[in-house]
């Protein structure tokens, strides 16, 4: 029941005035809010000095956890950072944001049974859901890489995460202080039709 209610609430969210005014590919309709959000979402790297409310953060996390996952493992864990000092220490885009959500793979869950290697895909799907939900709710966000690499280890140490939680990425989130034009990434040359 909670999943159905969440889906209905998310679908009923009106796009912000800024998102509604954005143009997309011309093939989607503003009446189709999901496709419109996908086509008009863009990375936001500058944020207003405005706190993101706890209920808004919960909605973003619910969107992340609504993602598809291999074998329904749901091998994710989310670290929510609102502490300004920690955000600064994280560096990159998080340093200027009022909120960062680290999407982590939970290795205790990922290693159970089959499908270990799918944790990256599962957590990536959760990340995209959060990005789209943020855009639809009038927030701006940017996906910053972590795993594999030094940033993932830095985040793990900085946040005192156990070794079993591996930060895949950090999503910097806030109310936009910029409005870049979404890129049209359509390229027919990258499509092969098999008939």
Q: Which residue has the higher pLDDT, 26 or 157?
A: 157
Q: Spell out a b/e string for 88-100, using b for 16 or more CB atoms within 10 Å of the CB, else e.
A: eebebbbeebbbb
Model pTM score: 0.85
> Which pair of tokens denotes residue 61?
């996390």
* Those residues with Cβ within 8 angstroms of residue 22's Cβ, 6 or more apart along the chain or in another chain: 40, 181, 182
Tens of pLDDT, residue by residue over 59-114, are 999 999 999 999 999 999 999 999 999 999 999 999 999 999 999 999 999 998 88
HEC sequence for 127-147: HHHHHHHHHHCCCEEEEEECC
Residue length of the chain: 195
> Which pair of tokens denotes residue 132?
């789209």
CA geometry: angle 1, 102, 126, nearest 5 deg: 40
- How far apart CA 176 and CA 73 sit, in angstroms, is 34
Weakest mean pLDDT among 2-11, 62-71, 85-94, 152-161: 2-11
Tokens 């086509």 appear where?
39
**Residues forming a β-bridge with 141:** 173
Q: What is the pLDDT confidence band of residue 25, given thresholds at 50, 70 and 90?
A: low
pLDDT at 33: 86
Please, what is the angle between helix 33-40 and helix 119-136, to 10°? 100
């Amino acid at each position: 029941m909670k999943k159905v209610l969440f889906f209905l609430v998310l679908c009923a969210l009106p796009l912000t005035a800024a998102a509604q005014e954005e143009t997309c590919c011309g093939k989607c309709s503003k009446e189709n809010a999901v496709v419109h959000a996908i086509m008009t979402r863009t990375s936001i790297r500058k944020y207003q000095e405005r706190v993101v409310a706890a209920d808004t953060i919960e909605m973003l996390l619910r969107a992340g956890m609504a993602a598809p996952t291999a074998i329904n493992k749901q091998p994710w864990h989310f670290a929510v950072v609102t502490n300004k000092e920690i955000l600064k220490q994280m560096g990159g885009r998080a340093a200027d944001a009022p909120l960062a959500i680290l999407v982590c793979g939970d290795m205790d869950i990922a290693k159970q049974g089959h499908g270990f290697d799918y944790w990256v895909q599962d957590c990536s799907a959760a990340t995209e859901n959060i990005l789209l939900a943020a855009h639809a709710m009038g927030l701006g966000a940017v996906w910053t890489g972590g795993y594999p690499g030094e940033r993932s280890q830095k985040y793990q140490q900085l946040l005192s995460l156990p070794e079993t939680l591996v930060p895949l990425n950090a999503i910097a989130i806030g109310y936009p202080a910029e409005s870049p034009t979404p890129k049209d990434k359509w390229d027919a040359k990258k499509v092969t039709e098999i008939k």
